[in-house]
A and B are shown apart, each in its own frame.
Chain A
């Protein structure tokens, strides 16, 4: 199972919005609404911020939102804050009954 494709890095200024893409195939992102997003600040364990494409777990700010079109899912963070600076990973369920992750995107808040 090949990793999902994410941009290596994105950046934005405080208050702005950024979008991170996650491109898969018709065997994962394109066929299932089982896409999740994780936030991982340096030196810490990942934290779930979006699951099933659009759902935020309790406690995650509504500045975080998810969407999907075809084989590409996206995470949008609006009203950027310094604390949002982290690595972000997408994942998707696959037709092999396993999960696959993206390569990760480093978000820099300028």
Chain B
């Protein structure tokens, strides 16, 4: 069974930084692309970022490009999202999501339970 457990969320001031992590189990982590998707309170889903299975390619939504960095450690089955220059509109539940295949074009498939990031002074 696919299990994705996010951690690292919390309250951060505008302009601050935060690092989210996702621990994966129940599947061969190194052969699947991984994504981050977020959902602001009471709002819809918003794509954030993708990293391919080998970590050799990364992709970002325009809204986070230059501020967020996605990375993975296939030896530890972990996915990270380093977030900097945080703004109030980054407040959301951040979901770690497994792709159906190894490339960015693979459908966003299996979701974790999410971790809440609140950006506020």
Do A and B associate with each other?
yes
**Chain A residues with a Cβ under 8 A of chain B:** 1, 3, 32, 34, 36, 38, 40, 45-48, 51-52, 57, 87, 89, 91, 93, 97-104
B105 contacts the other chain (Cβ, under 8 Å)?
A: yes
Contact indicator B109/A57 (Cβ below 8 Å)? yes
Which residues from chain B contact A3 at a C-beta distance below 8 Å? 44
| Known contacts A45-B95, A98-B61, A52 near B47 by CB under 8 Å | no
| Known contacts A1-B62, A98-B50, A103 near B44 by CB under 8 Å | yes
Whole-angstrom CA separation of A52 from B108 in the bound complex: 11
Does more than half of chain B's interface fall in helix, strand or loop, or is it mixed? strand
For the complex formed, measure the closest distance between the CB of A66 and the CB atoms of chain B, giving whole angstroms.
Answer: 12
For the complex formed, measure the closest distance between the CB of A88 and the CB atoms of chain B, giving whole angstroms.
Answer: 11
B73 contacts the other chain (Cβ, under 8 Å)?
A: no
Which residues from chain A contact B112 at a C-beta distance below 8 Å? 45
Whole-angstrom CA separation of A32 from B59 in the bound complex: 18
Contact indicator A47/B111 (Cβ below 8 Å)? yes
Which residues from chain B contact A101 at a C-beta distance below 8 Å? 37, 44-47
Contact indicator A91/B47 (Cβ below 8 Å)? yes
Whole-angstrom CA separation of A36 from B105 in the bound complex: 11
| Known contacts A1-B61, A98-B50, A98-B59, A36 near B45 by CB under 8 Å | no
